[in-house]
Every structure is written in structure tokens, then in C-alpha cells.
């Protein structure tokens, strides 16, 4: 089963890292194939950033995402640039702290930045909250694979915080309307 996942937000939120962690989870811990690509300009920090992952059971030929079936959107500009055109059959997770638009497709609202700041004390882990919510609501990789990939990707000393962020995301997806796997 091929999945195309597109992440967008602003430079500095860890949009590219999110995609790298997801691809790593699929390849290193779920024995699947994945390709991760990104779009960024020389002036990206603060601007809209986009990264994409294709996950498949078979080797991936064309490496670019054409029609994403899963979106993770973490900024309003990111929504406008990379999320607004989502197809009706797609599913979109939005960071409801920062994105006020909503797509026509199934939408899961995750207050990731608010929760990262208030509950976890660091808004920097909002991307990991979104990853937890993504995996809980789509099962695009296993939770165990995601956890391992997070642990081998984040800076030493922040493992516990990131684990908590992932769990928080899983919990928020479970509580959000439409957040359970269909």
C-alpha cells in the first residue's frame, strides 16, 4: 500500500525532521520502503517549508509526491501553499493552534503547539506531537517504529521529552473528532 505524506509549516518547526523521522521509521523499523524529499529556499527560516515522504511495501520508483493522501499542516501559510489543494479523499492533520483554515477533506484538529508549550513546556516538540497524532490516526507506520525512529533522531538528552510529546500526540488524536483510524 503506497502512502504519500506531505508536511508543511514554517522553517524552524522541524518540518523536514518530521518527514525524516517518518521515513526512517518505515525503512529501519517497519521493513518498508520510503523516500523523503523536501522543498526549501536559501531563505527558508520563517518561510513556508515543505517536506514529503512516500511509504510503500514495494521499491519506490518516482520519488516525488504527486497526490498526497495524508497531510500534516503546521502553519497558515503552509496550508495556503501546500494544503489548500488537498483532494477530497485525503486526510489532513492541522496544528489547530496555528492553522485557522480547514480543508474539504477529513480533518483532524490537533492543538500541537499549545499542548507542547503548556503541557510539555517546550513548543519545539510540536512536530513530534503531530507525528504521534499522525501515526495514531493513520497507522502509516507502527507506533513502535515511530518511537524508535524518534529516539534515534532527536538530540541526546531530549529523548524523554520527545517520547512524552509523541504520547501526547497519540492521546490528542484519540480525543479529536475523526482522530481514530477509520
Partner 1 sequence: MTRIEFWQGNTACAEGALAAGCRFFGGYPITPSTEVAEHMAVKLPKKNGIFIQMEDEIASIASVIGASWTGARAMTATSGPGFSLMMENIGFAAMTETPCVIVNVQRGGPSTGQPTMGAQGDMMQCRFGSHGDYSIIALCPASVQEMYELTAKAFNLADEYRVPVFLMADEVVGHMREKIVIPDSVPYVSRKALVKGTLPFKADSDLIPGFPQFGKGYGVHVTGLTHDERGYPCATNPKLHEALVMRLVDKIESARHKIADYEILNPDAEEVFIAYGAPVRTVQQLMHDQQDKTLGFLRIRTVWPFPEFALKEFKNARRFLVPEMNLGQIAREIERHVQVPVVSLPKLGGDLHTPAELLTALEAR
Q: 42 near 64, Cβ under 8 Å?
A: no
Q: Is 167 in the site for partner 1 (CB under 8 A)?
A: no
Q: Is 133 in the site for partner 1 (CB under 8 A)?
A: no
Among 126, 122, 100, CA closest to 113: 126
Nearest residue (CB) to partner 1, 34 versus 166: 34
**Grid cell at residue 25:** 521509521
| Helix, strand or coil, per DSSP, at residue 36 | strand
Among 135, 114, 141, CA closest to 72: 135
Q: 44 near 16, Cβ under 8 Å?
A: no
**Grid cell at residue 157:** 538528552
Minimum Å gap between C-beta 25 and partner 1 is 9
**Grid cell at residue 84:** 489548500
Nearest residue (CB) to partner 1, 23 versus 68: 23
Nearest residue (CB) to partner 1, 60 versus 84: 60
For partner 1, what does the binding mask look like between residues 57 and 86, x meaning CB under 8 A?
Answer: ---xxxxx-x--------------------
- Among residues 5, 6, 9, 24, which is the contact residue for partner 1, using CB under 8 A? 24
Nearest residue (CB) to partner 1, 14 versus 23: 23
| Site for partner 1, rule CB under 8 A | 20, 23-24, 27-28, 33-42, 60-64, 66
Amino acid at each position: 500500500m503506497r502512502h504519500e505524506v506531505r508536511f508543511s509549516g514554517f522553517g524552524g518547526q522541524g518540518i523536514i525532521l518530521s518527514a525524516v523521522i517518518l521515513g526512517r521509521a518505515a525503512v529501519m523499523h517497519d521493513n518498508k520502503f520510503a523516500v523523503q524529499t523536501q522543498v526549501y529556499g536559501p531563505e527558508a527560516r520563517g518561510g513556508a517549508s515543505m517536506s514529503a515522504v512516500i511509504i510503500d511495501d514495494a521499491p519506490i520508483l518516482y520519488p516525488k509526491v504527486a497526490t498526497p493522501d495524508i497531510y500534516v499542516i503546521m502553519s497558515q501559510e503552509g496550508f495556503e501553499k501546500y494544503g489548500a489543494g488537498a483532494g477530497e479523499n485525503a486526510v489532513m492533520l492541522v496544528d489547530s493552534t496555528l492553522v485557522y483554515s480547514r480543508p474539504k477533506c477529513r480533518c483532524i484538529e490537533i492543538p500541537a503547539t499549545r499542548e507542547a508549550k503548556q503541557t510539555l513546556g517546550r513548543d519545539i516538540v510540536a512536530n513530534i506531537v503531530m507525528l504521534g497524532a499522525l501515526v495514531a490516526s493513520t497507522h502509516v507506520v507502527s507506533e513502535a517504529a515511530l518511537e524508535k525512529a524518534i529516539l534515534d533522531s532527536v538530540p541526546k538528552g531530549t529523548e524523554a521529552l520527545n517520547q512524552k510529546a509523541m504520547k501526547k500526540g497519540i492521546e490528542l488524536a484519540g480525543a479529536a473528532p475523526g482522530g481514530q483510524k477509520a
